């Protein structure tokens, strides 16, 4: 079984069907969700994912309702204090957003396939590799 970890932007692409001209991010996110479900794999989400989705305007109730639809293919893992500390340190050293660095450390430590379109992760490939949804659906 493969375990995926979506950067918060991928969740937003999926929930809001966010697409740009010649860049159908929402479509790619939906196709990847379908593939994960079809292959009986899992998507892991973290407390940081929930915080970032709250900051984007989603209530905990809305998130519970959305995640409930995928309960067979979704699981929660809490980020620990050590991972937060390492992520904060990386963010300072590499001048990238703290959340992105924490996501990378968390994905590495839990052997998760990190999924994102965010270019900040280019600076974290020594921590963990990442994949775009479009890379994983083909």
Q: What is the pLDDT of residues 52-105, one digit of tens each?
A: 999 999 999 999 999 998 899 999 999 999 999 999 999 999 999 999 999 999
Residue 8: give its domain's CATH number.
3.40.50.1010
What would the pLDDT profile of 11-50 be if each residue is shown by its tens digit?
999 999 999 999 999 999 999 999 999 999 999 999 999 9
Provide the pLDDT for residue 115: 98
Tokens of 71: 């309960």
Provide the pLDDT for residue 69: 87
- SS3 state at 113: strand
- SS3 state at 114: strand
Provide the pLDDT for residue 23: 93
Where in the sequence is the domain holding 11, given as residue range(s)? 3-137
Q: How many domains does the chain have?
A: 1
Using only C-alpha atoms, the chain has a radius of gyration, in whole angstroms, of 14
If you ran DSSP here, which 8-state letter would residue 20 be given? B
pTM for this structure? 0.94
Q: Is the pLDDT of residue 112 over 90?
A: yes
Adjacent-strand bridge partners of 23: 20
């Amino acid at each position: 079984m493969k375990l995926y970890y979506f950067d918060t932007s991928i969740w937003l692409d999926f929930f809001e069907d966010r697409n740009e001209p010649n860049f159908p991010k929402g479509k790619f996110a939906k196709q990847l969700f379908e593939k994960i479900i079809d292959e009986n794999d899992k998507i892991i989400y973290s407390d940081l994912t929930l915080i970032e989705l709250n900051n984007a305007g989603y209530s905990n109730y809305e998130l519970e309702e959305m995640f409930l639809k995928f309960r067979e293919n979704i699981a929660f893992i809490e980020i620990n204090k050590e991972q937060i500390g390492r992520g904060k340190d990386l963010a300072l050293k590499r001048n990238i957003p703290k959340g992105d660095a924490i996501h990378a450390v968390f994905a590495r430590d839990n052997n998760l396939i990190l999924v994102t379109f965010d270019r900040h992760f280019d600076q974290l490939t020594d921590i963990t590799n990442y994949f775009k949804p479009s890379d994983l659906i083909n």
